[in-house]
Amino acid sequence: MKLYKTLRGTVRVELCGADPEAALNLCARRGVILLDIAAQDACTLQSTLYEAQLEELKDIAARCMCELRVLGQSGGSRNLKLMRRRIGLLLAAALTTGLLLISSLYIWEIRVEGCERLTQGQVLRALAECGVEQGSYWPAISSDRLRSRMLLKMPELAWITVNVRGSCATVRLVEREERPAIYREEETADVVAAKDGVVRELYVLNGKALVRPGDTVLQGEPLVSGKLESITGPVRSVHAEARVIADTWYEMTAVCPIEARQKVESRGRRSRFALKIGDRRINFYINGKKTLDGYDRIVHEYRLGLEGVFALPLCLVREEIVRYETAEEPPQPERAMGVSLQRVLWETVDGAVVSAALSSSRDAERVCVTLRAQCRENIAKTIDTQGTETSP
């Protein structure tokens, strides 16, 4: 009932005269509906009627020698006037809602999960070639067809799927495990030294040992032979396997100039803005393609949307321009160079570092840092008869 009254509109009026009862009787004969009638005194009463019957009530009041006064109005034409005043706001809201609904049918953001050996750039390029990129109409994308095309295009993948939610496509993938090397036991393979060293421990799993603990070996020297001699039969070929622990020595040197030019920020920072609509960019500044020498440019992108709900093809770009100058500064690089050399050593050694020592020297132009280390590691390397490295 409230909604009905609001849509039709109601008016609260006051009827004042010598004989208001005559006006009520005439309203009943003409079908004018009066609601919530309340008598104020013998000559005055208040009532509510629908807005469409107000003109007829005025005519009745004039015929009955009564004065009609409007006290208030709600709903009906009053709401229409308010709506006319805000028609632009309503149209903008409707247009925005329509654009959001249409935009949600397209992909505006792509996330890649599960990359280890592959890079996100490789996956995104392959997806673009398969028809999945910014601005793609996602209801037309077939997951099965996309999976088949991606697996053919990228043999490194074992499984891939694309989930779309609110214009955001999440690509989840699993990379294919590398197939282990396959060899035949009857094929001849020897174990040789991968590095120079002194043998400390020797564990032969298959084949004939050619060295003993305490022997010094050079890189490429045979350690275990894949040919087994027999007194009663011919020479038998096997795939030699062994683990040879040896002491090895390393000497690494790094060189750095005695003076280096360092970048120093000067004169503060300034920002400039741009707007990206899909793949198109609108710059709010001039000379956008001009190269800025002596400046660093830091780009911040703010995509419009609600994280995890929907994304819009609008992206606000803020470029931070930082002016810098170069100055000669005497660095102290010995410690940093030593840390870098130690990191390279740990990545090179297949075992443990027994001892390590750093030394440095300077002349007029450069700094030299040298790392000398003794390590204990496995130097066994299995190769076949053609000299190709194999793994058991």
Residue 181: the pLDDT is 63
Residue 184: the pLDDT is 64
Q: What is the pLDDT of residues 263-295, one digit of tens each?
A: 766 777 788 888 888 778 888 887 766 666 677
pLDDT category at 19 given cuts 50, 70, 90 is confident
Residue 372: the pLDDT is 93
Q: What mean pLDDT value characterizes the chain?
A: 81
Report the range out of 53-67, 140-154, 227-241 with the highest average pLDDT: 140-154
Instruction: Return d(Cα 162, Cα 144) in angstroms, integer.
Output: 10
Residue 14: the pLDDT is 87
Residue percentage of the chain with pLDDT more than 70: 85
Instruction: Return d(Cα 123, Cα 153) in angstroms, integer.
Output: 10
pLDDT at position 224 over 80 = yes
Q: What is the pLDDT of residues 328-362, one digit of tens each?
A: 655 567 788 888 889 999 988 888 999 999 998 88
CA atoms within 13 A on the CB side of 104: 11
pLDDT at position 200 over 90 = yes
Q: What is the pLDDT of residues 43-67, one digit of tens each?
A: 888 888 887 888 888 888 888 888 8
pTM for this model (two decimals): 0.50
Residue 87: the pLDDT is 72
Q: Is the dihedral of CA 64, 65, 70, 76 positive or negative?
A: positive
pLDDT at position 217 over 90 = yes
Residue 392: the pLDDT is 47
* DSSP assignments along 180-248, one per residue: PP---TTS-EEEEESS-EEEEEEEEEESEE---TT-EE-TT-EEEESEE--SSS--EE-B-EEEEEEEE
Residue 377: the pLDDT is 93
Instruction: Return d(Cα 377, Cα 199) in angstroms, integer.
Output: 10
